[in-house]
């Protein structure tokens, strides 16, 4: 493979990896501001990562279940570094395409 071709392929792979990662973590709070932030980020078609601690993880799961336009890509639960903080939930989600509006290949 020529050096130019190889460099081009490497740059394309880096771009694909960057586009696949969520662009920032949304920390869920009791005030519910995370719902507005989630709605705003889903409009730009990006993947979103959300984190909730304690009892808020149930609110997060309930909200994701109620929204039929959201696809859950990955769910993780784990104890925080100090066990006193409790169990945490991390969810990666993205907006499902509508039948007519989105022409993006979502399931590759």
Cα 60 to the center of its chain, rounded Å: 13
Q: How confident is the model at residue 13 (pLDDT cuts 50, 70, 90)?
A: very low
What are the tokens at 71? Answer: 């696809």
Query: H helices then E strands: how many in the chain?
Result: 3, 4
Place of tokens 């869920």: 28
Domains of the chain: 22-108 (3.30.110)
Contact 52, 73 (CB under 8 A): no
Contact 56, 29 (CB under 8 A): yes
What does the mean pLDDT of the chain come to? 76
What are the tokens at 45? Answer: 């078609």
Residue pLDDT, tens place only, 52-93: 988 888 999 999 999 999 999 999 998 877 777 778 899 999
């Amino acid at each position: 493979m020529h050096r130019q071709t190889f460099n081009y392929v490497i740059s394309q792979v880096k771009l694909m990896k960057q586009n696949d990662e969520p662009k920032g973590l949304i920390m869920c709070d009791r005030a519910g501001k995370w719902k507005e932030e989630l709605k705003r980020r889903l409009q730009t078609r990006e993947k979103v990562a959300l984190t909730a601690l304690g009892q808020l993880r149930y609110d997060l799961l309930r909200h994701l279940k109620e929204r039929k336009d959201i696809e859950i890509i990955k769910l993780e639960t784990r104890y925080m570094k100090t066990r006193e903080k409790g169990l945490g939930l991390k969810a990666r989600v993205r907006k499902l395409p509508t039948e007519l509006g989105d022409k993006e290949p979502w399931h590759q």
